[in-house]
Structure 1
Amino acid sequence: MDNPCAFSPKAVEQFHQLQQQLRNLWRSVETLDISDVDIVVIPSLSLDQRELQKIEGFHHYEERLLFSLIRLRNPRTRLVYITSQPLHPGIVDYYLQLLPGIPFSHARDRLLLLSTYDSSLNPLSQKILDRPRLIERIRQAVRPNCSFMICYNSTNAERELSIRTGIPLYALDPDLLIWGTKGGSRQIFVEAEVPHPDGSESVWSVSDLAIAAAELWERQPYLRRMVVKLNEGFSGEGNALLDLRSIREVAPGKGSHQARVDAVSEHFHCLQFESKGETWEKFSSRIPELGAIVEAFLEGDKRSPSVQGRITPLGEVEILSTHDQILGGPSGQIYLGCRFPADAAYRLQLQELGMRVGRCLAEKGAIERFGVDFVAVHQPNQDDKPEWDMQAIEINLRKGGTTHPFMTLKFLTNGRYDVSSGLFYSQQGRPKYYIATDNLQKDHYRGLLPNDLMDIIAHHQLHFDTGTETGTVFHLMGCLSEFGKVGLTSIGNSPQQAEDIYNKLVNAMDEETRSPEVFSEESMRLPMLWSGGY
């Protein structure tokens, strides 16, 4: 976590004055997206780099914000996109050719691509700060009082970049980052009266973590498992599972409090980590720096829905979307993809709970995106309870894995989200559905270049059709050759059509790469969640 105290009061005030300019730019959701402005995109993953290294090809995740190029469908918008390494020209061309009714050359003339030519592990924002001449190029590329900056997540580096360029940052004030940590999320859930699993506040040592775990066990004597989470994680990679069944001899009623603390502390060495290659030694070394919590693991038939919203510069809270997340990993805590929208059985409840969280965040001064992840536990045949018990587990104060698929849909169709139904409608009035993933990954995809992917798309007619507003939009194409990994959003006019489009794409890629019938465990699995509730 950044230390906000590194900034002088004068610098902080300068940043706040810049953010006040956003109020003047803002008229409504629609006009900010289509108005005559210059947009600077900083797709820096300014997160703990040790956590990011658990993600294969994470340095290509700067491509996830390339959906922003679709903003160029407005003929008056200009856009600056900065990356650590230059983007493959074919990837840029791919996005610009998605723009309906806009000549390719016209869109390309309004796009400035810049690069730091730096492949180090430092976040992109820091790389830019280390290059004063690049900062000056950015300053000269935009019009004063008619521009804003967007980013993946906001830290001190993005704040300093905003100050040094004089461009308002449309993102969270880094002083409020605490509310996006695991411990901070739990505090918001209490204040907003949103149901959440029993657990602890943030702790900063292994000994305090063991005490917190023992106390949680004592509050819930029948608990079988609990989750240990670093305060900062990415896609569930900072989570681990503590199985209490192997130390039942010190369960509440059988052993003393100190015996439980000692047993839990010893058993930390047997944690089941979600991330490959993680060890207790590495995990525990980050607790004093990042903090950690322990939380009850919810058993049973469950799903992982989420709700996304944003807080405007005027302090208004809007719900943008709901999703059912597709999770993998040893205990199902790693984000693989999502389906839009969430099941009708609980999507409106998700919206209501998301509004509570958004209003609480707005009161604290937060702006821009927030997402809330839930666990929905199925409890059938209980007349006095809802069919699904919703428990909030995390707030993300950044763009997440569900941001780029939804914004891709919105920008391509220029449609609208209907909060009364939780559905998204195109301008033609058609409800839209999609499946999206960052993790279509198979060994036999390795070696495919972006141009090879374009050949496959063209031959099998897998492209997005602007006429029917259906098809697949790709991202993370830079990951494909080295890691055999690509991201995509398959859009249909029904849940089944979106599923069919996705399956057609996977079959085509397997056919073109002569894949074996048995795929690796890392292959993207998409079990059907839609069951007539839509």
Structure 2
Amino acid sequence: MEALDLSSSKEANKFQFLQAQLRDRWESIEGLDNSEYDILVVPSLSLDRRELLKIEGFLHYEERLLFSLIRLQSPKTRVIYVTSQPLPPIVIDYYLQLLPGIPFSHARDRLLLFSTYDSSTTPLTQKILERPRLMERIRQSLRLEKSFMICYNSTTLERDLSVQLGVPLLAADPDLLYWGTKSGSRQIFAECGVSHPDGSGLVLSAEDLAEAAAELWERQPSLERMVVKLNEGFSGEGNAMLDLKPLQHKAPGCASHKERVAAVCDRFPFLNFQAKNETWSNFSSRIPELGAIVEAFIEGEEKRSPSVQGRITPTGEVEILSTHDQILGGSGGQIYLGCYFPGDEAYRLQLQEIGLRVGRNLVQKGALERFAVDFIAVRQPDKTGKPQWDLQAIEINLRKGGTTHPFMTLKFLTNGRYDMATGLFYSQQGCPKYYIATDNLQKDRYRGLLPNDLMDIIAHQRLHFDTSTQTGTVFHLMGCLSEFGKLGLTSIGNSHQQAKDIYNRVNNVLDEETKPTAKILSSVSSAAVN
């Protein structure tokens, strides 16, 4: 099925009409405990295919929005969840059993699952659009006047699906996606007066990239490294490091501008790429398609990568949801691996303040729903010699991300609240909650584990989330285990240390259970034997 031409005034008006309905319904939607609503979840990673292929098991990332099933704790709410391939029943059962205060069978009756039965790399939303009979079944299952749609990220595909189904889309208009790119982010930081690394505007060729890098080097002659970023890269997979130390003989003052540009060009094939098996040939071929920027690399002995998450409601209000310290890896330390919640108390209130400034700028541009701002924090002495953290904003994401599902899981499991005054999250009993989360607990020894095997281990070793203490671990990406040896988890505690201890225990148990000599747990129940 071809995408709709939303440049036509008729289709554009229809989308805006749907979005206006979303604004009108917002107060009722937020009061889901007593309202009848259908939530259509389309967890499509509608991102550049060639960049997405750099992430192992990305197709299973459709499972990350399964936290949305927690919405079923509202007895009148229904969830319609669509995936590329059918989800294992044991995974669905696992999430439904986490629901506080709702009978399993009642929640299961209000969950409708659809699948395209298509494991290709095509975005899920496109798969749905190409299947008119499936679309019709989805449409018939919805109470259209009481429905809205959520997604991982919003593109023209999600907008087309919204219009064809007649369901409002709780996400940013794809026309605003530029503000979530590397160059768009830098423009907003400049408009808001937010500190960010020196760098370039958008370039569309390797030649212009070399010019921009040489100009940056001339502005900062002492610069040791630069970061080259594809404009639409994500999770750090589109980043590469340019080391200037081998070019010191071409430093500003020692050579002409033309010579420095040529020297930079010569170094491009030797970039330190963050993605595995990336090459300059492939990377440079993406520049005309996606664009690129170059930024000064922030040096520092003590360095962190915090972030702030927020949302813009359909009524134009900006809300701060959380702060995190991100866990980064890769050869240059720029690949997102996981996060700690909350962000360090030394700067989390400052993160909130910057998040509000960026959010208000996005409101003026017409943005909606989730946004996040990533930073580099370097500890250095102030004018009095006292250590302090310097925050440099590096990126805005106009979508859900790796920090979205762990926080929402915590929120829905505990029914707690985020406190702007402290930057802490409190349970209903007033206890502050902490967690460590990852999408990348990955080891070769985990390959071959089925979701059922994981459930056996969770039950036998008591690794599950305990609703009575509101501590423990919630697992996701279970579909990645068998093929990729990869698992996601969120370990929740009443302190940073307790969360780390819970996480480490999970890690240790999985390592022990996957030793070649480990005793295999029996998954056959006595009832089945009888």
The TM-score bracket by the shorter chain reads over 0.9
Deviation of residue 266 (structure 1)?
1.5
SS in 2 for 1:26: helix
**How far apart, in 1, do the equivalents of 2:217 and 2:386 lie?**
25
Q: Which residue in 2 is equivalent to 1:148?
A: 148
Task: In structure 2, give the amino acid aligned to 1:503.
Answer: N
**How far apart, in 2, do the equivalents of 1:496 and 1:347 lie?**
18
Mark the runs of 5 or more structure 1 residues left unpaired by the alignment: 517-534
**How far apart, in 2, do the equivalents of 1:29 and 1:107 lie?**
18
Change (3 A) 1:150 1:386: farther
Deviation of residue 152 (structure 1)?
0.2
Deviation of residue 380 (structure 1)?
3.4
Question: Is 1:262 paired with 2:262?
Answer: yes
Q: Which residue in 2 is equivalent to 1:443?
A: 444
SS in 1 for 2:145: coil
SS in 2 for 1:118: coil
Task: In structure 2, give the amino acid aligned to 1:258.
Answer: K
1:376 and 1:389 in contact (8 A); partners too: yes
SS in 2 for 1:179: helix
**How far apart, in 1, do the equivalents of 2:498 and 2:193 lie?**
38
Q: Which residue in 1 is equivalent to 2:521?
A: none
Task: In structure 2, give the amino acid aligned to 1:277.
Answer: N
Report 1:240-389 matches (<5 A). Answer: 240-300=240-300, 301-380=302-381, 382-383=383-384, 387-389=388-390
Note the alpha carbon deviations across 1:54-110, whole angstroms, 9 max, x for none: 001011000000000111011111000000000011000000000111111100100
Task: In structure 2, give the amino acid aligned to 1:423.
Answer: L
SS in 2 for 1:395: strand
Deviation of residue 120 (structure 1)?
1.0
Mark the runs of 5 or more structure 2 residues left unpaired by the alignment: 518-530
2:32 and 2:77 in contact (8 A); partners too: no
Deviation of residue 30 (structure 1)?
4.5
**How far apart, in 2, do the equivalents of 1:33 and 1:490 lie?**
27
Deviation of residue 5 (structure 1)?
7.4
2:29 and 2:37 in contact (8 A); partners too: no
**How far apart, in 2, do the equivalents of 1:460 and 1:499 lie?**
17
TM-score when normalising by structure 1: 0.94
Question: Is 1:196 paired with 2:196?
Answer: yes
SS in 1 for 2:435: strand
Question: Is 1:24 paired with 2:8?
Answer: no
1:307 and 1:350 in contact (8 A); partners too: yes
Deviation of residue 6 (structure 1)?
5.8
**How far apart, in 2, do the equivalents of 1:369 and 1:507 lie?**
35
Note the alpha carbon deviations across 1:348-399, whole angstroms, 9 max, x for none: 0000011110000010000000000000011136437870000000000000
**How far apart, in 2, do the equivalents of 1:206 and 1:10 lie?**
40
1:417 and 1:424 in contact (8 A); partners too: yes
Task: In structure 1, give the amino acid aligned to 2:337.
Answer: L
**How far apart, in 2, do the equivalents of 1:298 and 1:328 lie?**
16
1:4 and 1:175 in contact (8 A); partners too: no
Change (3 A) 1:90 1:440: same
Task: In structure 1, give the amino acid aligned to 2:104.
Answer: F
**How far apart, in 1, do the equivalents of 2:264 and 2:324 lie?**
35
TM-score when normalising by structure 2: 0.95
1:34 and 1:71 in contact (8 A); partners too: no
SS in 1 for 2:199: coil
Q: Which residue in 2 is equivalent to 1:414?
A: 415
> Please, which moves more after superposition, 463-472 or 34-43?
34-43
Q: Which residue in 1 is equivalent to 2:62?
A: 62
Note the alpha carbon deviations across 1:327-347, whole angstroms, 9 max, x for none: 000010000000000000000
Q: Which residue in 2 is equivalent to 1:480?
A: 481
SS in 2 for 1:327: strand
Q: Which residue in 1 is equivalent to 2:523?
A: none
Deviation of residue 234 (structure 1)?
2.0
**How far apart, in 1, do the equivalents of 2:339 and 2:21 lie?**
35
Report 1:45-124 matches (<5 A). Answer: 45-124=45-124
**How far apart, in 2, do the equivalents of 1:364 and 1:490 lie?**
37
Aligned length: 514
Task: In structure 1, give the amino acid aligned to 2:376.
Answer: V
Report 1:380-399 matches (<5 A). Answer: 380=381, 382-383=383-384, 387-399=388-400
Superposition RMSD on alpha carbons, in Å?
Answer: 1.5
Q: Which residue in 2 is equivalent to 1:502?
A: 503
Percentage of matched positions with identical amino acids: 74
**How far apart, in 1, do the equivalents of 2:373 and 2:29 lie?**
21
Question: Is 1:434 paired with 2:426?
Answer: no
Change (3 A) 1:369 1:328: same
Change (3 A) 1:340 1:165: same
Change (3 A) 1:33 1:410: farther
SS in 1 for 2:237: coil
SS in 2 for 1:379: strand
SS in 2 for 1:434: strand
* Deviating 4+ runs (over 3 angstroms): 3-7, 32-35
Q: Which residue in 1 is equivalent to 2:173?
A: 173
Task: In structure 2, give the amino acid aligned to 1:302.
Answer: K
Task: In structure 2, give the amino acid aligned to 1:499.
Answer: K
SS in 2 for 1:303: strand
1:42 and 1:125 in contact (8 A); partners too: yes
1:26 and 1:32 in contact (8 A); partners too: no
Note the alpha carbon deviations across 1:280-299, whole angstroms, 9 max, x for none: 00000010010000000000
SS in 2 for 1:246: helix
